[in-house]
Homo-oligomer: A and B are copies of this chain.
Amino acid sequence: MIHVLVGCTVKPELLEQALAVYRELIAETRKEPGCISYELLELRDDPGQLLLSERWLSQEHLNAHTQTVHFIRAMAELEILETAAPALIYTQIL
């Protein structure tokens, strides 16, 4: 299993717009093969700090995800709404 964490910062005035994009992205992504979980988390002490927490069955499933229409569209829309950090890819060791 592959864990992917993508942190991002959203300005308060753009949060609702960003959440609308995420809502659609998440709904479509959860239907994809190999998607174990795909959740948007908010840092409790700083609501503008979001974290996309993803679990994928394999790298191949993750690669396929990044080629989907809904992912590409969402990334384009989010680019102007948030500042995202690079994706961090983890594997579970214990």
Contact = CB atoms under 8 A, between A and B. Distances in A.
Interface of A: 3, 5, 19, 22-23, 26, 39-45, 50-51, 53, 88-94
A82 B39 CA distance: 29
Main DSSP-derived SS at the A contact region: strand
Contacts of A40: 92-94
A4 to B, nearest CB: 10
29 contacts: A3-B41, A3-B53, A5-B51, A19-B93, A19-B94, A22-B94, A23-B94, A26-B94, A39-B94, A40-B93, A40-B94, A41-B90, A41-B91, A41-B92, A41-B93, A42-B90, A42-B91, A42-B92, A42-B93, A43-B88, A43-B89, A43-B90, A44-B89, A44-B90, A44-B91, A45-B89, A50-B93, A51-B90, A53-B90
